[in-house]
Structure 1
Amino acid sequence: MRPTQTLRGGGDSVPIGKHGKFLGNWGNFGGMKQKGIVTYGIAPNRQNPLAGAAHDAVFNTWRRFSSQVLYWAPPMIAGYYIINWAIERNHYLNSKQGRAEFGGGEE
């Protein structure tokens, strides 16, 4: 004769696993209850996820920009002036005055 589910589970009808072992109550399947774990929660109506976001975005962006500007601004400015000089020089050399001045080739 086979014992009933109530007798196998110890009184309250608890699930028995695939291999006939007690799985545990809800929240602690397969082992003893853990101790020393503390969790905290806050109600959704008490949260303000964007508190100070605009203020922090402005000042954090300025802080990051000011700490990095000297690494990229001087090469960018130098590159702009070099490219601008090369474009103007190319326009001059391909103009009527440039061809008349240098004739066959640039010296």
Structure 2
Amino acid sequence: MHPTQRLMGGGGQAVGTHGLYIGTWGNFGGMKQKGIISYGIAPNRQFPLAGTAHDAIFNTWRRFSAQVFYWAPPMIAGYYILNWAIDRNHYLNSKAGRAEFAGQEE
């Protein structure tokens, strides 16, 4: 026995021992409808910059904290070495430095 068109349309009557006939695959709940068009837009297209500021702050902090121990110690050491060299150069080219090292040639 085949279900009638009314049963295939979701008429609400019980069919056999398994309950209701709800339609074929891709057509659940009733007969195939025509002329209905629905459009949707993905969430990342609706709000393309959603969470950008939050992610920028926390992602920047995560990347900075992971890399700071690779570049900070050489930068600090370089700063102190350069500062010492500048101070030493100023002293050697001053009156006191010239008087101290007048007889030596470097």
Residues matched between the structures, number? 67
Please, what TM-score do these two structures have when normalized by structure 2?
Answer: 0.57
Cα distance in 1 for residues equivalent to 2:42 and 2:59: 29
Q: State whether structure 2 residue 91 is matched by structure 1 residue 92.
A: yes
CA shift at 1:43, angstroms? 6.3
1:31-64, Cα deviation, whole Å (9 max, x unpaired) = xxxxxxxxxx6169x6100111000000000000
| 1:19-58 aligned within 5 A | 42=41, 47-58=46-57
Larger Rg: 2
- Structure 2 CA distance for aligned equivalents of residues 58 and 85 of structure 1: 36
Give unpaired runs (5+ residues) of structure 2.
1-39
Q: TM-score, normalising length from structure 1?
A: 0.56
Change (3 A) 1:106 1:92: farther
2:25 paired residue number: none
Letter of the aligned partner of 2:47 in structure 1? N
Residue identity (%): 85
Judged with a 3 Å threshold, the aligned counterparts in structure 2 of structure 1 residues 106 and 88 are, in CA distance, closer, same or farther, namely farther
- Between the aligned partners of 1:43 and 1:66, the Cα distance in structure 2 is 34
Give 1:69's aligned residue. Answer: 68
Secondary structure in structure 1 of the residue aligned to 2:103:
coil
RMSD of aligned Cα (Å): 2.4
> CA separation of 1:91/1:50 partners in 2, compared to 1, >3 Å: closer, same or farther?
same
Structure with the larger RCO, 1 or 2 (CA within 8 Å, 6+ apart) = 2
Structure 1 residue ranges without an equivalent (≥5):
1-40
Q: Could you say what secondary structure the match of 2:98 adopts? A: helix
